[in-house]
Amino acid sequence: MVTILVQRGTLKVGDSLVAGPQWGRVRAMHDFTGKRVQSAEPGMPVEVLGFDGVCDAGEFVRAVENDRRARQEAQERANRLKTEALARRQARKVSLEEVFSRVQEGEIKELNIVLKADVAGSLEALQDEIAKVPQEQVGINIIHSQTGGINESDVMLAAASEAIIIGFNVRPLADARRAAEREGVDVRTYSVIYKITEDLRNAMEGMLEAVEVEEILGEAEVKQTFKASKVGRIAGCVVSEGKVARDASVRLIREGTVIWDGKLGSLRRFKDNVQEVEEGQECGIVLEGYADVKEGDVLEFFKTKQVEQTLE
């Protein structure tokens, strides 16, 4: 379902449409009152049902002669976007794994860092500890430090400054995570301060060891909370991205700051215990040993695996 404001021409039921990398056929249209209509003229906003995916807000929508043409144009656009994204990632400024090799080649003399933490005390402690890291071969420059979650502005600053982002007890917000993937920015999050300085030291010496890499499965947003006498606090959620799994680890994020992490107590859908819930579906979640869940909280589901870091 896409809301469209007609600017030129007449949109009719049955028209083939293309909007960026998405395409579709107008299967039904409704005006601003919810009434079903067969056509829409310039200046008329309508809800259109029939696209094959979610279009970006602000995308221009064009009617073409048939479905085949719409599909072809959408595919060409999708391929172009993938090529551009790949080129940006390949042209990434710097990652922690690459520091040693690029220092040896004389490509970088200074490692820029955007630093984010949950509270001011943690931020000050981090700055003090990072200042103690040996900087004979390469200097460490904290270009920006602030409390709170990692946002899109942090990512764009890192991309423009050839910096990496280090977060302590904070997580990238959804738009920041997408921007980091798009711009090829290295975002690292930690829950132990000494691991940050250890990774920085090892990166500069070319000795990064195997690390636990997180695979993000999905996110769920808490829409409402309920109290049940037998199970405790139930979070009524909508899966906003990916999927949630019963056997995954979960962290509770409030305004970008990690409040709690642990395991699920239960995952329910329509009163039934389930193993997974897909994107767009509603579910009831109970966190194991934690009840202070609030509306607007985000539950992030993930699994970890060991990955060897190699420097070429």
pLDDT tens digits, one per residue of 256-301: 889 998 999 999 988 888 999 999 999 999 999 898 999 999 999 9
Domain 2-90 has CATH 2.40.30.10: yes
Secondary structure of residue 183 in the 3-state scheme: helix
Give the CATH fold of the 215-305 domain. Answer: Elongation Factor Tu (Ef-tu); domain 3 (2.40.30)
The length of the chain, given as a count of residues? 312
Distance CA 244, CA 242 (A): 7
Q: Are strands 36-37 and 211-228 parallel, antiparallel or unpaired?
A: unpaired
Residue spans of alpha helices (H) in 170-256: 174-183, 193-205
Give the tens place of pLDDT for each residue, 46-105. Answer: 999 999 888 888 889 999 999 999 999 999 988 888 777 666 555 556 677 777 777 677
Give the CATH fold of the 96-209 domain. Answer: Rossmann fold (3.40.50)
Element (H, E) at 99: helix 99-104
Q: Are strands 163-168 and 187-190 parallel, antiparallel or unpaired?
A: parallel
Closest CA to 214 of 195, 233, 182, 190: 190
For residue 210, pLDDT over 70 is answered with: no
2-90 and 215-305 have identical folds: yes
Position 311 confidence tier, pLDDT thresholds 50, 70, 90: very low
Domain range list for the chain: 2-90, 96-209, 215-305
**Burial of residue 144 (number of CB atoms within 10 Å: 0-12, 13-18, 19+):** middle
Task: Please tell me the predicted confidence (pLDDT) of residue 45.
Answer: 94
